[in-house]
């Protein structure tokens, strides 16, 4: 993108998603204030950003806008074009999960395949077996062993499924991060 912008005398601008970095629209992160952390607000923020950049920099007032995004931001730029087609002339979206769903197991299947393709069957089987062992420990309510293995500061609360989701999610995210990098 950098080379294309340079060759076409374009301007590249990175916008920050609300609630991340310095773009916090509320004084604190209470549950009540988190209601503004949603895709409609984020898309409206980007629309506002584009309009303001064109007003602030007269030399780009009539310039075309091409949005670029990968993964979640790829989803955003695709949805942005649908909602605000008058503000952007195109989008380059990569690895964008366009059909949002809560339990997106297909993503981890892709991660697993990538690990298998790069690391081989032995590597991917070891990781898969580790997750099976984690699941068995949880099913058998062996919370002390889970705390010991993962050196948790607090034991898992077996009445709070969010504790378990967080643990398994963190373990899955570690492998996802490796694959993405």
* pLDDT single digits (tens) 8-30: 888 899 888 888 888 888 888 89
Per-residue pLDDT tens for 25-36? 888 889 899 988
Q: Is the pLDDT of residue 139 over 80?
A: yes
Per-residue pLDDT tens for 74-104? 999 999 999 999 999 999 998 887 777 777 7
CA 66, 72, 75, 81 torsion: positive or negative?
A: negative
What does DSSP say about strands 90-94 and 66-70: parallel, antiparallel, or unpaired? parallel
Q: CA-CA distance, 88 to 99, in Å (whole number)?
A: 22
Query: pTM for this structure?
Result: 0.67
Of 66, 65, 69, which is closest to residue 95 (Cα–Cα)? 69
Q: Which residues contact 75 (CB under 8 A, 6 or more apart)?
A: 69, 93, 96, 97, 98, 100
What's the pLDDT at 156? 81
Output 123 or 158, whichever has higher pLDDT: 123
């Amino acid at each position: 993108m950098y080379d294309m912008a340079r060759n076409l005398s374009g301007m590249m601008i990175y916008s920050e998603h609300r609630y991340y970095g310095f773009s916090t629209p509320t004084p604190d992160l209470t549950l009540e204030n988190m209601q503004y952390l949603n895709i409609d607000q984020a898309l409206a923020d980007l629309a506002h950003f584009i309009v303001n950049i064109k007003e602030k920099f007269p030399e780009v007032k009539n310039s075309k806008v091409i949005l670029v995004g990968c993964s979640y931001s790829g989803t955003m730029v695709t949805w942005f074009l649908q909602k605000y087609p008058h503000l952007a002339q195109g989008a380059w979206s990569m690895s964008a999960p366009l059909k949002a769903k809560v339990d997106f197991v297909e993503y981890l299947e892709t991660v697993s395949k990538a690990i298998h393709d790069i690391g081989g069957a032995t590597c991917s089987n070891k990781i898969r077996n580790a997750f099976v062992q984690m699941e068995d420990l949880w099913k058998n309510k062996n919370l002390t062993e889970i705390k010991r293995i993962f050196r948790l500061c607090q034991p898992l609360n077996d009445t709070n499924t969010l504790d378990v989701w967080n643990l398994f999610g963190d373990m899955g995210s570690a492998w996802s991060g490796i694959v993405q990098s």
